[in-house]
Amino acid sequence: MIELVKKGTKNAKNEILSGLTVALALVPEAVAFSFVAGIDPLIGLYGAFMMGIITSIFGGRPGMISGATGAMAVVMVGLIKAGNEIGLHLEAPVANLGISYLFITLLLVGILQILFGVFKLGKFIRLIPHPVMMGFVNGLAIVIFLSQLGMFKEKIMNTETGKAVTQWLPVPELLIMGGFVALTMAIMFLLPKLTKKVPAALTAIIIVSAIVIIGGIDTNTVKSFIVEGSGNPAAGIKGGLPSLQLDLFTHIPINLATFKLILPYAFILAAVGLIESLLTLNLIDELTETRGNSNKECIAQGSANFVNGMFGGMGGCAMIGQSIINVNSGGKGRLSGIVAAVALLCFILFAAPLIEQVPIAALVGVMFMVVIGTFAWSSFRIITKIPRADAFVLILVSSMTVVFDLAIAVVAGVIVSALVFSWENAKRIRARRSFKADGTKVYEIWGPLFFGSIQAFTDKFTVNEDPDNIEIDFIESKVSDHSGVEAIFNLVEKYEKKGKKVTLKHLSPDCDAMLIKASPKFAAIIQTDIDDPRYYVVTNQVEPI
């Protein structure tokens, strides 16, 4: 903690001001995602506070902001709905039981994410190819943009059907809001050109809020947004401190049926949360030119979600939009995240009436600038210059992020990239044929031998036409997996059935061990006493990890 304070005070002013900016941007996001999940806005705000404070102090990426997110809120909808249905069919019906199911699920989510970090699995995020990262960034920028368009709409009651419908705001209100959005963006664009001593986003929010409040201009505010979303004229963000959910297991039976319901949701929420958090961590690493600790971040994310389950928060993960706001405003340390979380709690406890007057237009303007800064505009320039497969992956991940969700898009992108990589490497297997003076036919193998290249490898050999002595030289090849071992085993058997002798040369020590372990007969056909300097160069070279 002392080290944290020392590092934070080096740039305290920027860290504090950046934290306040982020806190203001967190309010409508947390409230909106609460509405998506179908829960009370305060649960979303509590979740954002607990996620923010824990990950800021203990996380592996200073400057990254965590809170309630849409990616996880969408998954929660089905769980809460199923829990509510169960509550209504109990002998003594319980209303809104889905919330209790959510809190219990978050406990499991936290445990899974902590285990992911403890077993140091966060390093696998490095396996995500660059086109997938670019697709993720572009798709997320589009998602953020589309989510902000909802702020320009309103719900009205259809007198014929009796149902609420969503439509664009009336033209006068739309123009007013659009004007304030443009003003916010103009301030954020021009102010850094004049001075960088104050964060542009916070300055823009204060100026636009002052104009609206002092001028008595009628436009959507945080208060009107909450009232419209909840349908309760008295709704707001004012509340007390989060409390321990002591009655968490009172109405929920701990049995197999309960685990069958919550386990799938727990795994999906844990996966979505970690994927979004670790991808955001990578992005902030690039922006700050520093290196975060992915395993430490997994443990912090899991701990935060576990605490959310215990104290009645919505849970969540890293937020790319708010993280970029924070970094661009100068908040690159832990202090900015702590200030954002504490300020958010202070809004709930003490400053709710003031924060509720902040115009939505100012916050939308900030998020639009985030969209502009997040989108990888260079992708338009390089799309025709990179391999077609990479371009396809980039477009695929961007599209799937918008249509489905982040987790599905990233997994699909990684699978397609892996398949393309396997296919390209499968085509690199080569065989050079020659004969020795004694009539032995030599096959010099080039390229990796693995599951994708075994068919091409097998096709190189003409078993029926070959002479009685065959030598297969692997000096420029590598047997990578069991499929490669099995291919060699089957090939040797084919030659032996024809009464022909096979010798294997220049296999690396690990390949020797793999083949002999698979079948002791290989010990007799692998030639190891070879005096060839090329062989030692290949097998004894050690690369730094």
What span, in angstroms and rounded, lies between the C-alpha atoms of 487 and 455?
8
When mean pLDDT is compared across 198-212, 305-319, 394-408, the lowest value belongs to: 394-408
For residue 540, pLDDT beyond 50: no
| Domain end position, chosen among 371, 391, 414 | 414
Position 3 in a domain: no
Mean pLDDT across the stretch 136-141? 83
Where residue 315 falls (left for φ over 0; alpha for ψ -120 to 50; beta otherwise) is left
Token pair 């929920």 is at which residue? 252
339 and 246 belong to one structural domain: yes
376 lies in the same domain as 386 = no
Residue 7 confidence (pLDDT): 54
The pLDDT-based confidence of 234 (bands split at 50, 70, 90) is confident
Q: What average pLDDT does the structure give for the chain? A: 86
51 alpha-carbon distance from chain centroid = 16
pLDDT at position 401, please?
83
Residues 313 and 453 in one domain: no
pLDDT for the residue numbered 4: 53
Instruction: State if pTM tops 0.85.
Output: no
Going across the sheet that includes 430-435, the strands are 430-435, 441-449, 469-479, 501-505, 526-527
pLDDT of residue 36: 74
Q: Are 439 and 478 within one domain?
A: yes
Confidence label for 178 from pLDDT (cuts 50, 70 and 90): very high
Residues 446 and 331 in one domain: no
104 vs 73, 91, 101, 248, CA distance in Å? 15, 21, 5, 7
To the nearest whole percent, how much of the chain has pLDDT over 90? 35
Comparing 386 with 305, the larger pLDDT belongs to: 305
Does 543 have pLDDT greater than 90?
no
Cβ atoms within 10 Å of 404's Cβ, excluding its own: 13
Give the separation between CA 277 and CA 326, rounded to whole angstroms: 15
The torsion of the CA quartet 531, 534, 539, 540, rounded to 10 degrees, works out to 90
pLDDT band at 180 (very low <50, low <70, confident <90, very high): very high
Q: Find the helix packing angle between 256-288 and 70-88, rounded to 10°.
A: 170
Q: How many residues does the chain have?
A: 545
Residue 289 lies in a domain: yes
Total number of domains in the chain = 3
Measured between alpha carbons, how far is 417 from 129 in angstroms, rounded to an integer? 7
Q: Which residue has the higher pLDDT, 330 or 317?
A: 317
CATH number, domain with residue 447: 3.30.750.24
Which of residues 357, 390, 414 is at a domain's end?
Answer: 414
The answer to whether position 235 is within a domain reads yes
Domain match, 57 and 92 both: yes
The pLDDT tens digits for 452-502 are 889 889 999 999 999 999 999 988 888 888 888 889 889 989 999 999 999
pLDDT of 541 reads: 39
pLDDT band at 376 (very low <50, low <70, confident <90, very high): confident
- What tens digit of pLDDT does each residue of 105-130 get? 999 999 999 999 999 988 777 778 88
Same domain, 209 and 82: yes
CB 466 within 8 A of CB 496: no
Helix, coil or strand: residue 470: strand
Structure confidence at residue 48 (pLDDT): 94
Indicate whether 545 belongs to any domain: no
66-67 and 317-318 strand pairing: antiparallel
Q: Are both 319 and 394 inside the same structural domain?
A: no
Question: Would residue 420 count as lying in a domain?
Answer: no
Mean pLDDT of 179-203: 88
Which band of pLDDT confidence, cut at 50, 70 and 90, is reported for residue 532? low
More confident residue, 146 or 405: 146
Using the predicted structure, report yes or no on whether residue 136 has a pLDDT greater than 70: yes
209 contacts 357 by C-beta, under 8 angstroms:
yes
Indicate if 400 and 455 belong to the same structural domain: no
Examine the domain organization and report whether 41 and 140 are in the same domain.
yes
Higher pLDDT, 267 or 407: 267
Least confident of 222-236, 257-271, 299-313: 222-236
Q: Are 227 and 298 in contact (CB under 8 A)?
A: no
Per the structure, the complete domain to which residue 408 belongs is given by 381-414
Same structural domain, 318 and 467:
no
Domain membership flag for residue 511: yes
- Whether 141 has a pLDDT exceeding 90, the answer reads no
In this predicted model, what pLDDT tens digit does every residue of 203-233 receive, in sequence order?
899 999 999 999 999 898 988 888 877 777 8
Q: Is residue 26, in this structure, part of any structural domain at all?
A: yes
Residue 73 lies in a domain: yes
pLDDT of residue 315: 93
pLDDT of residue 9: 52
Residues 289 and 410 both lie in one domain: no
Residue given tokens 């004894």 in the structure block:
540
